[in-house]
Structure 1
């Protein structure tokens, strides 16, 4: 086997290993990829092959329901536990053949070779060969008769999104999850936006975010070393804007790490206190601010119990959540999260929101947000809070607050972005935000 083949082999072995780490060991996709690149099959791989392994794995996760259904049609009986990596080698192979459209001989040959190199899967390499060859012949015909959008969405998420947004919108959300998302950038100085956009070859979205397709390595892009911009999804950049003009004002940023919103507030002229319970995460936030030439006061504390002996007029609470709104960037999320996780996080959000209320001065503004599509972590959370806190009311979000994007303002006056919003421009992460004020 020559060097080129060995390189292709590493990509397939790496993809199967990452799938095993995510689906069996319940590790986050990004963490599993980093580990595989550091000490696994991808350790000595070329950048293009690491990228290929990542593409295979992401596609397999995005299309997992369909892939597993097709496997059930192509395999007569369930694989035994002693089959080792066989199932994930098959998943990776089907992702290549059916969705990435890799040449059949390469996808079949390399995945059979990957099976032969695995201590357990080598006993099933003939099965891998037979299944993948059959998929090359019959796969497209099978796909034509499947409801892939439904198959690729776990039951609890399908039910949640269909109930909240309607089935047509739920399907539009899933379709946006199939594609790699673009890279979004927030610029430090608004007056440099067009110059930076031209240097990057970026599109300027209505909200001012710069959007790049096929950006490559982020650290190599113009302006990164100069601290001219930071990576931040266009939807994630919207909640901080709901605080209005923050120039010269003090803002408490709760659950602040990794710091995109902290940077946004600091760049807008705010004096930010950025709080997070994780010292390592705050270290990362401080590193980001240092690169950008921005400043904020950082505090390591539990946001459910923080008692500084003072209040703020402006508070941003970006609460921990199930992150289902970021599934297009993190295709592991639908497979690693559950209704129990959502409910546990919703309980934490309620505690965070109630405590944040005690830190808000009379007449102050509190923006609550999550990157979840689940109503339990969004509008229902806010409705429960308002019912229990009569001194608070909604300050409705207007179209003028969100760059004229009327489709992302709800009937209640909250912000709600969906992955299918701005679809023609590449979509958005799913975000929810409500603006609350305390009676003076």
Structure 2
């Protein structure tokens, strides 16, 4: 648990946000805790809720910028430090990262970035002796940092080598580099509107993507944006909105949404008229799904259970959507901690689970029913290979290829077999912040 130190009325403005950012960075880099669990819910850092909306947004942006640029920052600091980053004081490391990120990529005056990082170090007993070092290094960073970064601009330092190597093998070196570049940009806010996306694109100063998703660059608290509290829309990446649509017309049909939380796909299916049973093993995540449905005035049957063990119903389901747990490497632009928390060894354990879940889904499906399997992973072992394994062992299951007309004519996001495969570099835009998609895989299967 991070130290419970909260802002006092007399505290220097902005210091509390940076202190909490340092705690959360330490949680990711040294304690292998995800950003989500540190920012929201019962395991969140206790200081997050004490921050003003403005400071909370600053803290989140600081952490995300550092994790998105971690390899470049490491290179930069190694050039500015004679003896490397101090290893006996994590707060000194965090202070250097926070200061350098602000100087190079954020709209913070250099003197404020340096001063607040020095204060951050001074407030920690183990790190206080490095205050002079932090001050000197960050002043050098303000003078010399940009040229040092320009030296390595094309070197994809911000993607772990094992991931970049895999993407080069599977997609080619050029596409792998395009993915890395796409992941370096702050992502947009994507929403799915219950109705009238044109109106919400106007009200939220955004634009409508070919797939119907509304994309905006508005920042700050999502809950304060027009239409959120009234339940007119929900946050959902444009790629994540595609798999549910592949089930076709679901009005009046029974649909199981397996591994359903936080509920974006459940909401899509209910809105389309399906009778949905949403299944997820996490009590906390299911509570969030129920909260979302309540806000949206939508209703579904919810079940807290391990989908791989869930007996389902005796009648079976007309359609099943399964968004299987995975390494989530396709979501790094929105969840930059994933790049530094995942290891290549994680893939094997997750594919075993994915195969069990897909076999269970096939068993729960009525004859003539449709099954969509998807993951937010860029790794073929978690997508194409899992589906091929099922097709090889289940003679009653066959692939139903996806047509370009079902995905707004975006032929580049379809595989030769007719599966969906979006990449972070897809859907480019002249403003990089308005381009890109999460990396998703989806296959549509039918039961004879």
The interval holding the TM-score normalised by the smaller chain is over 0.9
Equivalent residues of 2:65, 2:101 under 8 A apart: yes
CA distance in 1, matches of 2:137, 2:328: 35
Tell me whether 410-419 or 79-88 shows the greater mean CA deviation: 79-88
1:135 partnered with 2:144: no
Check if 1:209 corresponds to 2:213. Answer: yes
Q: Output the CA distance in 2 between the equivalents of 1:38 and 1:29.
A: 10
> Relative to structure 1, is the Cα distance of residues 54 and 300 closer, same or farther in structure 2, using a 3 angstrom cutoff?
closer
Report matched runs for 1:318-337 at 5 Å.
318-337=323-342
Q: Tell me what 2:362 maps to.
A: 357
- Separation in 2, partners of 1:43, 1:333: 24
Shift in Å at residue 272 of structure 1? 0.8
CA distance 1:365–1:54, change in 2 (3 Å)? same
Is residue 2:105 matched to residue 1:88? no
Q: Deviations over 1:18-77 (max 9, x none)?
A: 21111111111233245898533x664432222222222111101111111222222222
Structure 2 CA distance for aligned equivalents of residues 34 and 245 of structure 1:
35
In the other structure, the counterpart of 2:4 is none
Tell me, yes or no, if the aligned pair for 1:93 and 1:111 is still in contact at 8 Å: yes
The superposition leaves residues 279-336 of structure 1 with CA deviations (integer Å, 9 ceiling, x where unpaired) of 3322221221121111111122221122233322211111011111111111100000
Say which of 60, 68, 85 aligns to 2:66.
60
Secondary structure of the residue that 2:88 maps to in structure 1? helix
Residues 37 and 265 (structure 1), Cα distance of their counterparts in 2 relative to 1, 3 Å cut: closer
Name the SS for the 1:335 alignment partner. Answer: helix
In the superposition, the TM-score normalised over structure 2's length comes to 0.92
TM-score (norm 1): 0.94
Asked if 1:193 is matched to 2:197, the reply is yes
Count of aligned residue pairs for this structure pair: 435
Q: CA deviation at 1:79?
A: 4.5
- Name 2:46's counterpart in structure 1: 39
| Partner Cα separation in structure 2 for residue 435 and residue 44 of structure 1 | 46
Work out whether residues 90 and 111 of structure 1, in 8 Å CA contact, stay in contact via their aligned partners in 2. Answer: yes
- Structure 2 residue aligned with 1:268, among 252, 263, 272? 272
Instruction: Name the SS of the counterpart of 2:237 in structure 1.
Output: coil
Contact 2:244–2:268 (CA under 8 A) maintained in structure 1 = yes
Deviations 1:130-186 (A, max 9, x none): 211222222222112215552111111101111111122112212222222111111
- 2:240 maps to what in 1? 236
Matches of 2:161 and 2:86 in 1, distance apart?
A: 26
By percentage of residues, which structure has more helix? 1
Q: Which residue of 2 aligns with 1:156?
A: 162
Is residue 2:254 matched to residue 1:246?
Answer: no
Tell me the secondary structure at the aligned position of residue 347 of structure 1: helix
- Structure 2 counterparts to residues 381-392 of structure 1, below 5 A: 381-392=386-397
1:339 partner SS: coil
Whole-angstrom distance in 2 between the partners of 1:135 and 1:226 = 46
Rate the CA distance shift 1:154–1:172 in 2: closer, same or farther, 3 A.
same
Contact 2:156 2:181 in 1 (8 A): no
Contact 1:149–1:175 (CA under 8 A) maintained in structure 2 = no
Unaligned runs of 5+ residues in structure 1 are none
Quote the residue 2:438 is aligned against: 429
Cα distance change on mapping 1:286 and 1:15 into 2, 3 Å: closer
2:277–2:300 contact (8 Å) kept in structure 1: yes
- Deviation track 1:396-420 (CA, whole Å, cap 9, x = no partner) reads 1110111111111111210011111
Q: Does 1:70 align with 2:71?
A: no
Whether 2:105 is the aligned partner of 1:99: answer yes
Change in CA separation of 1:4 and 1:383 when aligned onto 2, cut-off 3 Å: farther
Show the counterpart of 1:309.
314
Please state whether the residue corresponding to 1:7 is helix, strand or coil. coil
Aligned counterpart, 2:27: 21
- Between the aligned partners of 2:218 and 2:151, the Cα distance in structure 1 is 32
Asked if the contact 1:37–1:50 (Cα under 8 Å) also holds between the matched residues in 2, the reply is no
CA separation in 2, counterparts of 1:324 and 1:277? 22
| CA RMSD between the two structures | 2.1
Q: Give 1:5 deviation, angstroms.
A: 7.6
